[in-house]
Amino acid sequence: MSALLALVLAAADLTPPPSVEAPEAPPPAEELEEEDAVAQLTFGAVSTVNGGVSGLVHSLAWELAPIRVNAIHPGITGDSPYWEGKPPAILEGHRSKTITQKLATMDDIVDGTRFLLENPSVEAIDLVVDNGRMMF
Protein backbone atom coordinates (compact mmCIF):
# COMPACT_ATOMS: atom_id res chain seq x y z
CA MET A 1 0.00 0.00 0.00
CA SER A 2 1.36 3.41 -0.85
CA ALA A 3 2.18 5.83 1.94
CA LEU A 4 -0.39 8.30 0.62
CA LEU A 5 -3.15 5.70 0.57
CA ALA A 6 -2.23 4.60 4.09
CA LEU A 7 -2.33 8.23 5.26
CA VAL A 8 -5.75 8.81 3.67
CA LEU A 9 -7.14 5.62 5.17
CA ALA A 10 -5.70 6.47 8.60
CA ALA A 11 -7.17 9.98 8.44
CA ALA A 12 -10.56 8.56 7.55
CA ASP A 13 -10.17 5.84 10.21
CA LEU A 14 -10.66 3.16 7.58
CA THR A 15 -8.89 -0.08 6.96
CA PRO A 16 -8.02 -1.13 3.43
CA PRO A 17 -10.03 -3.93 1.88
CA PRO A 18 -8.11 -7.21 1.60
CA SER A 19 -7.74 -6.79 -2.16
CA VAL A 20 -5.65 -3.62 -1.82
CA GLU A 21 -2.01 -4.60 -1.92
CA ALA A 22 1.10 -2.60 -2.47
CA PRO A 23 2.64 -2.91 -5.92
CA GLU A 24 5.83 -4.88 -5.92
CA ALA A 25 8.77 -2.54 -5.62
CA PRO A 26 11.57 -2.90 -8.17
CA PRO A 27 14.70 -4.55 -6.79
CA PRO A 28 17.38 -2.22 -5.45
CA ALA A 29 19.87 -1.08 -8.08
CA GLU A 30 22.66 -3.09 -6.46
CA GLU A 31 20.74 -6.33 -7.15
CA LEU A 32 20.24 -5.60 -10.85
CA GLU A 33 22.53 -6.52 -13.68
CA GLU A 34 24.58 -3.51 -14.76
CA GLU A 35 22.60 -3.02 -18.01
CA ASP A 36 19.26 -3.26 -16.18
CA ALA A 37 20.36 -0.82 -13.49
CA VAL A 38 21.47 1.72 -16.08
CA ALA A 39 18.20 1.31 -17.99
CA GLN A 40 16.16 1.76 -14.80
CA LEU A 41 18.05 4.90 -13.82
CA THR A 42 18.05 6.50 -17.26
CA PHE A 43 14.48 5.79 -18.43
CA GLY A 44 13.04 8.71 -16.46
CA ALA A 45 15.80 11.03 -17.62
CA VAL A 46 15.34 10.07 -21.28
CA SER A 47 11.55 10.48 -21.05
CA THR A 48 11.98 13.89 -19.45
CA VAL A 49 14.43 15.03 -22.11
CA ASN A 50 12.20 13.76 -24.93
CA GLY A 51 9.25 15.66 -23.50
CA GLY A 52 11.37 18.80 -23.22
CA VAL A 53 12.59 18.46 -26.80
CA SER A 54 9.01 18.08 -28.05
CA GLY A 55 7.91 21.21 -26.23
CA LEU A 56 10.93 23.12 -27.46
CA VAL A 57 10.30 22.09 -31.07
CA HIS A 58 6.73 23.36 -30.96
CA SER A 59 7.71 26.64 -29.29
CA LEU A 60 10.64 27.29 -31.62
CA ALA A 61 8.56 26.50 -34.69
CA TRP A 62 6.33 29.47 -33.85
CA GLU A 63 9.13 31.75 -32.69
CA LEU A 64 11.54 31.10 -35.57
CA ALA A 65 9.09 30.90 -38.48
CA PRO A 66 9.74 30.87 -41.43
CA ILE A 67 12.76 28.79 -40.32
CA ARG A 68 11.58 25.19 -40.04
CA VAL A 69 12.11 23.37 -36.75
CA ASN A 70 11.80 19.58 -36.38
CA ALA A 71 13.26 16.89 -34.12
CA ILE A 72 14.21 13.28 -34.58
CA HIS A 73 13.96 10.81 -31.72
CA PRO A 74 16.03 7.76 -32.65
CA GLY A 75 15.37 4.54 -30.87
CA ILE A 76 18.01 2.01 -29.95
CA THR A 77 20.18 1.94 -33.04
CA GLY A 78 21.50 -1.61 -33.23
CA ASP A 79 24.41 -0.93 -35.57
CA SER A 80 25.64 2.24 -33.83
CA PRO A 81 29.07 2.13 -32.18
CA TYR A 82 27.45 2.16 -28.73
CA TRP A 83 25.05 -0.75 -29.31
CA GLU A 84 26.85 -3.00 -31.80
CA GLY A 85 29.22 -4.38 -29.16
CA LYS A 86 26.49 -5.27 -26.66
CA PRO A 87 25.78 -8.92 -25.86
CA PRO A 88 23.21 -10.53 -28.17
CA ALA A 89 20.85 -11.17 -25.24
CA ILE A 90 20.70 -7.45 -24.43
CA LEU A 91 19.97 -6.55 -28.05
CA GLU A 92 17.36 -9.30 -28.33
CA GLY A 93 15.63 -7.97 -25.21
CA HIS A 94 15.30 -4.55 -26.82
CA ARG A 95 14.40 -6.02 -30.22
CA SER A 96 11.55 -8.01 -28.67
CA LYS A 97 9.98 -4.77 -27.43
CA THR A 98 9.50 -3.34 -30.92
CA ILE A 99 6.49 -3.88 -33.16
CA THR A 100 8.64 -5.10 -36.04
CA GLN A 101 11.03 -7.17 -33.89
CA LYS A 102 13.91 -5.11 -35.34
CA LEU A 103 16.12 -2.33 -34.03
CA ALA A 104 16.55 0.89 -35.96
CA THR A 105 19.72 1.18 -38.03
CA MET A 106 21.93 4.19 -38.62
CA ASP A 107 20.63 4.23 -42.21
CA ASP A 108 17.06 4.51 -40.84
CA ILE A 109 18.08 7.52 -38.75
CA VAL A 110 19.83 9.14 -41.73
CA ASP A 111 16.73 8.56 -43.91
CA GLY A 112 14.50 10.17 -41.27
CA THR A 113 16.84 13.13 -40.94
CA ARG A 114 16.98 13.56 -44.71
CA PHE A 115 13.17 13.52 -44.84
CA LEU A 116 12.94 16.27 -42.20
CA LEU A 117 15.54 18.38 -43.99
CA GLU A 118 14.32 17.98 -47.56
CA ASN A 119 10.54 18.17 -47.27
CA PRO A 120 9.60 21.87 -47.08
CA SER A 121 6.09 21.14 -45.80
CA VAL A 122 7.24 19.30 -42.69
CA GLU A 123 7.19 21.65 -39.70
CA ALA A 124 7.17 21.20 -35.91
CA ILE A 125 7.42 17.40 -36.19
CA ASP A 126 8.83 14.97 -33.63
CA LEU A 127 9.85 12.05 -35.82
CA VAL A 128 10.30 8.87 -33.81
CA VAL A 129 12.47 6.28 -35.60
CA ASP A 130 12.36 3.24 -33.34
CA ASN A 131 10.30 0.48 -35.06
CA GLY A 132 7.40 1.14 -32.70
CA ARG A 133 9.37 0.81 -29.44
CA MET A 134 7.67 3.86 -27.90
CA MET A 135 4.30 2.13 -28.33
CA PHE A 136 5.10 -0.13 -25.37
Considering its fold, how many domains does the chain have in total? 1
Residue 35 lies in a domain: yes
pTM, two decimals, is 0.66
Residue 120 lies in a domain: yes
How confident is the model over 34-78, as pLDDT tens digits? Answer: 555 555 556 677 778 888 999 999 999 999 999 999 999 998 999
Report how far apart, in Å, the C-alpha atoms of 81 and of each of 6, 76, 77, 78, 110 are.
48, 11, 9, 9, 15
Query: What rounded mean pLDDT belongs to the chain?
Result: 79
Residue 21 lies in a domain: no
Residue 3 lies in a domain: no
Q: DSSP letter at 135? A: G
| Domain extent at residue 97 | 26-135
- Residue 86 is part of a domain; what is its CATH number? 3.40.50.720
